[in-house]
């Protein structure tokens, strides 16, 4: 299959390109810079120069593909508008000829009462409140839309956990924790998530999948593991939500959520079998 994707040179995108190539797909990917283009070429993908705001480029590239995966995200006050316009262009380009896989995120569910699945009610924090309208629009579109909603992604030394928790600890000697750390994070390893995106190209139209591996781990245990990796074992700084928000910005509200989600649907319908099931051991390294 000829697959076009956005965000291919990003943290999740690079493992996804590798997985697509490994499964025999011919990959093209949006490249917003020469560095991104080179990274994609090194991974075995054909770079397509452009940006998420270049809707004509997106439409043309999608029209030349058999399937599309939208991983890229624009950051700014117009995040929702750019995402909506990009999705519209990609779906118009692919039409009903093949799957369009859109990226959401499980933060839209807010706090969960125990373990829930994709049908749980949504109560998003402010930082992700824009997603629901865009995702409803994607799923209502004709063709073959599929929604993948990743949990908190870890692995390969990158991602939000690295940026907001591990990296600061290496300079301060202490890992931040919001509140008492009793809240759970629904985790997924970036390489397992990449495999889910590949499988999602075969999903029935309008399917929705939580991209979580079933590891619903208390934040206190996660930061303890990170403290070992950062060379400051057991050194943790407790922050109130207000203090965390002052340090991290509005994303702190999302990190404070208590979330437990099930991967049962993706396992059952797509045969997804996550391989990285010991997050704490990996995060301690």
Q: What is the pLDDT of residue 234?
A: 94
d(CA 76, CA 257): 23
Q: What is the pLDDT of residue 156?
A: 96
Q: Where residue 111 sits, what CATH number does that domain have?
A: 3.40.50.720
The domain total for the chain is 1
Give pTM, 2 decimals. 0.97
Residue 244 falls within a domain, yes or no? no
Its domain, for residue 7, covers: 2-151+189-212
Residue 27 falls within a domain, yes or no? yes
Six-digit token pair at 259?
Answer: 């979330």
Gyration radius from the chain CA atoms: 18
Backbone φ/ψ region at 186: left (φ over 0), alpha (ψ -120 to 50), beta: beta
d(CA 159, CA 262): 21
Residue 109 falls within a domain, yes or no? yes
Backbone φ/ψ region at 8: left (φ over 0), alpha (ψ -120 to 50), beta: alpha
Residue 65 falls within a domain, yes or no? yes
Summarised one tens digit per residue, pLDDT across range 87-125 is: 999 999 999 999 999 999 999 999 999 999 999 999 999
Q: How far apart are the first and last CA of the chain?
A: 37
40 within 8 A of 47, measured Cβ to Cβ: yes
Residue 168 falls within a domain, yes or no? no
Residue 239 falls within a domain, yes or no? no
Residue 56 falls within a domain, yes or no? yes
Give the confidence band of 72 by pLDDT, cuts at 50, 70, 90: very high
Residue 250 falls within a domain, yes or no? no
């Amino acid at each position: 299959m000829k697959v076009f994707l956005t965000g291919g040179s990003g943290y999740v995108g690079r493992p996804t390109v590798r997985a697509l190539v490994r499964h025999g797909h011919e990959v093209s990917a949006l490249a917003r810079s020469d560095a991104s283009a080179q990274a994609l070429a090194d991974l075995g993908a054909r770079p397509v120069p452009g940006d998420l705001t270049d809707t004509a480029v997106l439409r043309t590239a999608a029209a030349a593909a058999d399937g599309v995966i939208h991983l890229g995200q624009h950051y700014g006050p117009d995040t929702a508008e750019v995402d909506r316009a990009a999705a519209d262009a990609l779906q118009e380009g692919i039409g009903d000829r093949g799957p369009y896989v859109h990226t959401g995120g499980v933060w839209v569910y807010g706090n969960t009462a125990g373990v829930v699945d994709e049908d749980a009610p949504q109560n998003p924090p402010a930082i992700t409140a824009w997603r629901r309208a865009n995702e409803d629009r994607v799923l209502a579109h004709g063709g073959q839309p599929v929604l993948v909603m990743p949990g908190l992604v870890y692995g390969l030394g990158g991602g939000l956990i690295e940026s907001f928790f591990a990296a600061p600890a290496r300079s301060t000697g202490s890992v931040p924790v919001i509140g008492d750390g009793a809240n759970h994070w629904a985790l997924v390893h970036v390489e397992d998530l990449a495999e889910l995106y590949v499988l999602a190209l075969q999903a029935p139209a309008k399917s929705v999948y939580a991209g979580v591996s079933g590891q619903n781990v208390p934040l206190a245990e996660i930061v303890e593991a990170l403290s070992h990796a950062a060379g400051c074992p057991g050194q943790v700084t407790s922050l109130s939500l207000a203090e965390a928000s002052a340090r991290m910005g509005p994303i702190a509200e999302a990190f404070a959520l208590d979330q437990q989600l099930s991967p049962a649907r993706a396992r059952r319908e797509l045969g997804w079998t996550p391989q990285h099931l010991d997050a704490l051991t990996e995060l301690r390294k």
